[in-house]
A and B are shown apart, each in its own frame.
Chain A
Amino acid sequence: AQRVTQPEKLLSVFKGAPVELKCNYSYSGSPELFWYVQYSRQRLQLLLRHISRESIKGFTADLNKGETSFHLKKPFAQEEDSAMYYCALLTGANNLFFGTGTRLTVIP
């Protein structure tokens, strides 16, 4: 069965500091992974997907199949990055399996 683990429920960093939100997965198929973000009073929305290998709002995430990880990173955190972040794994038939989420707080 699939599993997505986000070990940190809460993460606080100072503005300008690097930030890393951890995500590990377990899946027997070929993994496709995503990060979703929910800012205060906004809808949950896609942040980035690993197949695009893109940087969105300064965030990047590399799929490491050897370590079964998909950690989200940003070199310099900004206050507007404070939000709830979910790692998600795409399983068959367009179903997304979500982790439990990490609430990031960037301290001014």
Chain B
Amino acid sequence: DGGITQSPKYLFRKEGQNVTLSCEQNLNHDAMYWYRQDPGQGLRLIYYSQIVNDFQKGDIAEGYSVSREKKESFPLTVTSAQKNPTAFYLCASITGTSPTGELFFGEGSRLTVL
């Protein structure tokens, strides 16, 4: 069953701790994205990666880090430097070929900082 898998669905962490959210896709998509979804603010792009071993900052990259060592995987680390990390995080991917614009999303990970 092809798709994007995010884990964990729910995560709690204490202030000062780093946490890594997993995103795996078996769609053979080239590009992968991390968005943050907050009530009233829509989706905001954190990081994206067009190809393996390359990634770019989005609009709100501060306090986050990523890696893209494999095409299938794009983990997001929320570091202790992120001032307001409690949020819902969405991973998405897109094929490099047409049609453009159709992102495929995971089910999301909800991070709560205690």
Binding site for B on A (CB under 8 A): 6, 9, 32, 34, 36, 43-46, 49, 86, 88, 90, 93-101
Residue ID in chain B nearest A4 by CB atoms? B42
Contact A100 B101 (CB under 8 A): no
Q: A49-B99, A94-B31, A94-B100 are in contact. Are A44 and B105 (CB under 8 A)?
A: yes
Say if the beta carbon of B40 comes within 8 Å of chain A.
yes
Per CB-CB distance, the 7 closest pairs between chain A and chain B, nearest first, are: A100-B42, A98-B43, A44-B105, A46-B102, A98-B42, A43-B105, A90-B101
Partner of A93, one of B43, B50, B90, B108: B50
B45 interface hit (Cβ, 8 Å) = yes
Main secondary structure of the interface of A (DSSP, over half): strand
B residues with a Cβ closer than 8 A to A are 31, 33, 35, 40-45, 48, 50, 58, 90, 92, 94, 96, 99-103, 105-108
Nearest A residue to B30, CB-CB: A94
Are A43 and B103 touching (Cβ within 8 A)? no
Q: Assess whether A32 is in contact with B105, with CB atoms less than 8 Å apart.
A: no
Given contacts A43-B106, A94-B94, are A49 and B40 in contact (CB under 8 A)? Answer: no
Query: Residue B101 contacts which of A44, A45, A96 (CB distance < 8 angstroms)?
Result: A96
Known A-B contacts A43-B106, A93-B50; the reply to A32 vs B42 at CB < 8 A is no
In the complex, A100→B107 CA distance in Å? 19
Enumerate 10 A-B pairs (CB-CB under 8 Å) in ascending A order. Answer: A34-B102, A43-B106, A46-B103, A49-B99, A49-B101, A86-B43, A94-B100, A95-B58, A98-B43, A98-B44
- Closest beta carbon of chain B to A34's beta carbon, Å: 5
* Known contacts A43-B106, A44-B90, A86 near B101 by CB under 8 Å: no
Point out the residues of chain A lying under 8 angstroms from B99, CB to CB: 49
- Nearest Cβ in chain B — how far from A68, in angstroms? 18
